[in-house]
């Protein structure tokens, strides 16, 4: 009997953690789905607001900035309260890099002029390094340049599919080490797909898809920080006995 009670007490925190993880995962995917459907319906049935949605510093881009800022601030606060955790630090650094991208390294906030980018445009984000690599490869071989794009597409799509498979297993009650990091994997996969579009496409429709992908990725990152921070708070609140 004592052994059964001890086993139940040991398993209870894991069950609670699994439930919390599944709940936050479901919330994140629900919000992303709602945002995607709303943006698509607005673009189709209310064409007058497309520019408001998609323009520079428009609704979608500002939404992306907001969620990235929440992720960065949330990660910093969680680390300050409950100590350094590698997943939180990684999420915070990723969010900060993408936040700097979305604000053009702060050039629109502080008024400085970014460096010119080889082939046209400005070097005002880390993603421009991928564009630079693509353009330099084009100078050597078109095939090499498109091989880079193809590899990015395969890796990003594969990561999204892998994360979705882990999500299904997580919802079914199966736990693994990666179960707690599905949102981060989805974030990286969606950002990769957005960068493929940014590099290889010039269509306005695909540009709109890129903006929505970036917003969805930012939402997932913010939920990931909440998930990992919540787990850290629960761990710190456990009695030492």
Q: Give per-residue pLDDT as tens, 39-92.
A: 888 878 877 777 777 776 678 888 999 999 999 999 999 999 888 889 899 999
Looking at residue 46, what is its pLDDT?
Answer: 76
Burial of 89 (0-12, 13-18, 19+ CB in 10 A): middle
Residue 193 — pLDDT band, cuts 50, 70, 90? Answer: very high
Looking at residue 64, what is its pLDDT?
Answer: 93
Looking at residue 24, what is its pLDDT?
Answer: 82
Alpha-carbon span 175 to 198, nearest angstrom: 35
- Global confidence as pTM: 0.83
Residue scoring higher pLDDT (5 or 219): 219
Alpha-carbon span 36 to 17, nearest angstrom: 29
- What is the mean pLDDT of the segment spanning 149-170? 90
Non-local CB neighbours of 141 within 8 Å, separated by 6+ positions:
none
Which of 27, 24, 32 lies closest to 189 in space, CA to CA?
Answer: 32
Residue 119 — pLDDT band, cuts 50, 70, 90? Answer: low
Residue scoring higher pLDDT (150 or 20): 150
Torsion of CA 162, 165, 166, 169, to 10 degrees: -160
Mean pLDDT of the chain: 79
Looking at residue 116, what is its pLDDT?
Answer: 66
List the single range of 13-17, 95-99, 210-214, 220-224 with lowest mean pLDDT: 13-17
Alpha-carbon span 176 to 170, nearest angstrom: 8
Looking at residue 21, what is its pLDDT?
Answer: 67
Please say if the pLDDT value at position 113 is more than 70.
Answer: no
Looking at residue 109, what is its pLDDT?
Answer: 63
Please say if the pLDDT value at position 5 is more than 50.
Answer: no
């Amino acid at each position: 009997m004592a052994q059964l009670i001890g086993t139940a007490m040991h398993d209870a925190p894991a069950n609670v953690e699994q439930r919390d993880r599944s709940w936050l995962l479901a919330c994140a995917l629900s919000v992303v789905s709602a945002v995607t459907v709303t943006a698509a319906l607005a673009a189709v049935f209310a064409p007058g607001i497309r520019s408001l949605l998609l323009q520079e510093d428009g609704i979608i881009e500002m939404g992306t900035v907001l969620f990235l800022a929440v992720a960065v601030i949330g990660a910093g606060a969680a680390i300050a309260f409950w100590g350094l955790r590698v997943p939180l630090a990684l999420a915070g650094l990723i969010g900060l890099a993408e936040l700097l991208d979305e604000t053009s390294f702060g050039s629109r906030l502080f008024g400085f002029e970014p460096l010119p980018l080889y082939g046209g445009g400005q070097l005002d984000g880390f993603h421009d390094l991928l564009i630079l690599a693509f353009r330099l490869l084009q100078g050597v071989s078109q095939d090499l340049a498109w091989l880079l794009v193809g590899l990015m597409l395969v890796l990003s799509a594969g990561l999204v599919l892998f994360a979705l498979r882990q999500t299904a297993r997580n919802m079914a009650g199966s736990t693994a080490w990666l179960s707690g990091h599905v949102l981060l994997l989805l974030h990286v996969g969606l950002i990769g797909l957005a960068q493929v579009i940014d590099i290889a496409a010039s269509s306005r429709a695909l540009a709109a898809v890129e903006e929505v992908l970036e917003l969805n990725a930012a939402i997932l990152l913010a939920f990931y920080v909440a998930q990992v921070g919540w787990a850290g708070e629960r761990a710190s609140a456990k009695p030492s006995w």
